[in-house]
Chains A and B, each alone.
Chain A
């Protein structure tokens, strides 16, 4: 188990390093003065000098790459061109808000999607299965920001049931929850379909395994078999897909934040791209990439916990 998790950590770090190197190369490959292009015309000479120093633009390429990595690994993403504050402070202040939105969005989707998938799998090739299948396939590719815009028009503008903008009054949790409903709904809709489909297939595959027949031959009810003995096996592939889906989830959250003018990474990045505030964008990308790696590690750890065979293979 420990061995397996250690290997996952190392792999995760390697993924992070390679992703950062890719970012570095893309910045380096820009024709012209990278500092001016990256920081835009509004940057001061001092900021450009800092950027050059951070990127080590006068050093040989490999040294530049290492310096770049070294700084990022230390949480040194440079300075916000507008506010002169360290980008790391801004990013880490915005991050929890985005994580909250993403987690609430995917959680409500799981609460609906998992039972739908189980229900469909227990009645394969019936009307129930067919209707659930059509609905989940229809919503699965809906862009979250579009759902957000439609939800905004219907529930905020037309019906005025929920607020259209912001995240609610600081300290007022009721108000914050009220503001969270529509954005979280928008993020989750596609995930309901996605999770229901994943669970259905994994359940069907597991239900066909011989041990299910053993339990039936001992008179255990089908529902109990499905929930207690099949679902824990079936969720394993679902969890690993959810880990990989973290990227999609964050991309969705970023756009939904802009739609509802909610503070968070998305709104911050949107403002940064308008003001050509590259360090803020770089910091957002690095932190969300790290978040993806962490989410996948958590998924791997959950899988190892659920499936003892995996952990032993290492």
Chain B
């Protein structure tokens, strides 16, 4: 073997990275976490936080730019954009958590089945998940909307199915690792049930990767929800949604571009915040991952 001192200076690099993380990484993660919490607060306390009723129409004030009274301006019906954004946060986060939660449930069930159910079932489920990944999400969603109608249920179901393969992979790999672990084989030989073993030993190992995956998936779900709502096939008016507001802003993009700009802001800020939160979470859970990737 090489002298430990000459082999790639892992310890050295980790140490330098630790310094860097203390300097920059942690503050970024902390800022991201604060922004995410602010969105969560906006979602929970929307009726109290919003300065106006998001659906209060005031044609006199239509399409006004930002002002002291309306910080982000008003839309084509004179509704306060900030209030609509705050209420839209509720929709966005609801879809994000329901969508990723559904994906987690579906993916976890398939992953457990693949890991515990034998080779044939495993191959079938792997193929099935590869096939889901092959379906183009937006077109697939549009096709289903045509059959099932545009609604929040359709939207969340499509997201749950389309995003499940990520969770399937994480859960399946973890079960596979445990399948071969000595202590599991030992416990099994003493009569412990495989399912029970998998659940008790796997969950602690799974929480980290799944949290990271959820944090990384939420921006994607926000993008899908707003994209489909932008096409009019996601959240249906009059419910506030950032995508609906974008669609309205797009219609008046020449007369009142501030509507579309304002409607896009929460999408920009929330996707960036969740992405950085996911990065910080992953770094915190696995310091050896070497930072950003």
Contact = CB atoms under 8 A, between A and B. Distances in A.
Interface of A: 11, 14-16, 18-19, 22-23, 26-27, 30, 37-38, 40, 124-125, 130, 133-134, 136-138, 140-143, 145-146, 149-150, 152-153, 157-158, 197-198, 200-201, 204, 208, 244, 247-248, 250-251, 254-255, 258-259, 265-266, 269-270, 272-274, 276-278, 281-282, 284-285, 288-289, 292-293, 296
Interface in B198-229: 219-220, 222-224, 226-227
Contact of B143 (A198, A200, A282): A282
Task: Give the dominant DSSP class at B's interface.
Answer: helix
Contact of A142 (B144, B271, B290): B271
B133 A247 contact: yes
Contact of A247 (B24, B136, B272, B290): B136
Contacts of B145: 273
Given A22-B132, A251-B138, A281-B142, A153 B293 contact: no
Contacts of A158: 257
A288 B293 contact: no
Contacts of A282: 143
B229 to A, nearest CB: 11
Nearest to A120: B292
A208 B135 contact: no
A11 B128 CA distance: 11
A269 B8 contact: no
B231 A285 contact: no
B227 A197 contact: no
B136 A130 contact: no
Contacts of A19: 131-132, 134-135
A127 to B, nearest CB: 10
A235 B84 CA distance: 44
A269 B24 CA distance: 45
B234 to A, nearest CB: 11
Contacts of B231: 255, 258, 270, 273
B98 interface: no
5 contacts: A125-B13, A141-B271, A142-B223, A157-B254, A247-B134
A153 B261 contact: yes
Contacts of A140: 275
Interface string B259-276: 011001001100110111
Nearest to B124: A18
A143 B227 contact: yes
Interface in B1-33: 8, 13, 16-17, 20, 24, 28
B249 to A, nearest CB: 8
Question: Can you list the 8 inter-chain pairs with the closest CB atoms, starting with the nearest?
Answer: A143-B223, A141-B219, A18-B131, A251-B138, A141-B271, A19-B131, A201-B293, A281-B143
B142 A273 contact: yes
A197 B292 contact: yes
Contacts of A15: 127, 130-131, 134
A244 B255 CA distance: 40
Contact of B268 (A40, A146, A200, A204): A146
Given A270-B231, A273-B233, A285-B143, A137 B292 contact: yes
A294 to B, nearest CB: 10
B135 A247 contact: yes
A288 B230 CA distance: 21
B146 A273 contact: yes
A15 to B, nearest CB: 5
B136 A23 contact: no
B143 A278 contact: yes
Contact of B139 (A22, A26, A198, A265): A265
A15 B227 CA distance: 26
Given A125-B20, A137-B276, A23 B143 contact: yes
Contacts of B290: 201, 204
A243 to B, nearest CB: 10
Contact of A153 (B146, B260, B267): B260
Contacts of B143: 23, 278, 281-282, 284-285
A100 to B, nearest CB: 17
Contact of A269 (B142, B222, B279): B142
A133 B291 contact: yes
B246 interface: yes
Contact of A141 (B8, B131, B220): B220
